[in-house]
Structure 1
């Protein structure tokens, strides 16, 4: 099963996702947020055997037991080559450190028979990270974001992205905790397995 260990953003970040989702809805596009998926910033996502869940949860709980919330900034948007739409998350020292720690904590429990996703053909620099850690977006390849849309085909998509570039979305908030969830093929949480809140 695919499991994401993710940062839980504060209300101001969620509100920005909600607003952008409403704007997209008026243009005929339905975001993952509008479909009921939780707003999250992926720290480490890969596949695990079903038997690994208890060990994974215990290891992550130990890793974050003394965590404290820290600033999280959303600054602008990104349209990928395959028409995914992200809100960009600032790659702060604190967020990078948390992602690195979670990767090292969770990686020992992952499946070893994973194959690179098709989209990685566009990003060959990520292959070494995937081969070693089972995920392309770790350590120097860590790429924090909030996913709004995937493989969007709506004919108004390009115009909407152009508007976002003129008026970049921005919000200041915090990381409030770390969650673990089973995700679908688009990396969206379909079942929450655990959440660990950080001290203010």
Structure 2
């Protein structure tokens, strides 16, 4: 169904096609809240001026994100809706918290062939609609394979590089030296947190969303959402 009216805009926009979580995701939302609270108790968030994404942005799992001309918005909607029509709701499992040297933190999910197929099908279906001449993220440039994927499909995070996760926060505003200090502190904090908390909680995907995203991939405006089918009971 349409959630908002798209303005007539001929410019390109960063669009994130993503798996939206079911309202029953109490375990994973509680885990993320407890993790953020744990870090704040250690003054890591306030000291470094970090604001976690959730609950300010919806938790989601990015399946395919790139720039699209908004003139293709209806085609993006129609192709996504048609492709996802037979898909069923999916249960995933959290694996571990991961921190990068730049201070980006995510909750990585365990490998699952169903969500990988979802993502691959979306890339193949929607990539022809993307904007030409994609910008290659600086972190991807050292990897020739990622550069090739970005040039061909508009994203360096597709196919073999698809890594389903929930983003927790980033520290892009920090100086590289501060990022490295934060990285070391987060590594220690993660060890402490995982000793006292169960990480492998369930994550339920209930619908496919199409939304405008900011440069960090967070959904700033949902455009459409398509509910996935409930598994048949027999």
TM-score clears 0.5: yes
Deviations 1:25-73 (A, max 9, x none): 4432420114x11101110000001111111011101111121112211
Q: Which residue is equivalent to 1:8?
A: 20
Tell me how far apart the structure 2 counterparts of residues 14 and 179 of structure 1 sit (CA, whole Å). Answer: 19
1:196 equivalent in alignment to 2:199:
no
Preserved contact between residue 21 and residue 30 of structure 1 (Cα < 8 Å): no
Max Rg structure: 2
Provide the C-alpha distance between the structure 1 equivalents of 2:142 and 2:171, rounded to a whole number of angstroms: 14
Matching residue of 2:102: 82
1:184 aligns with 2:214: yes
SS of aligned partner of 1:119: coil
- RMSD after superposition: 2.0
The offset of 1:194, in angstroms, is 0.9
TM-score, structure 1 normalization: 0.90
Provide structure 2 residue ranges, at least 5 long, that are not aligned to the other structure: 1-12
2:135 equivalent to 1:115? yes
Match of 2:53 among 21, 29, 32: 32
Equivalent residues of 1:85, 1:150 under 8 A apart? yes
**1:23 and 2:38 correspond:** yes
Deviations 1:125-181 (A, max 9, x none): 311211111100111111111111112547666323322234433311222111111
Corresponding pairs, count:
199
Using the alignment, how far apart are the partners of 2:34 and 2:227 within structure 1? 25
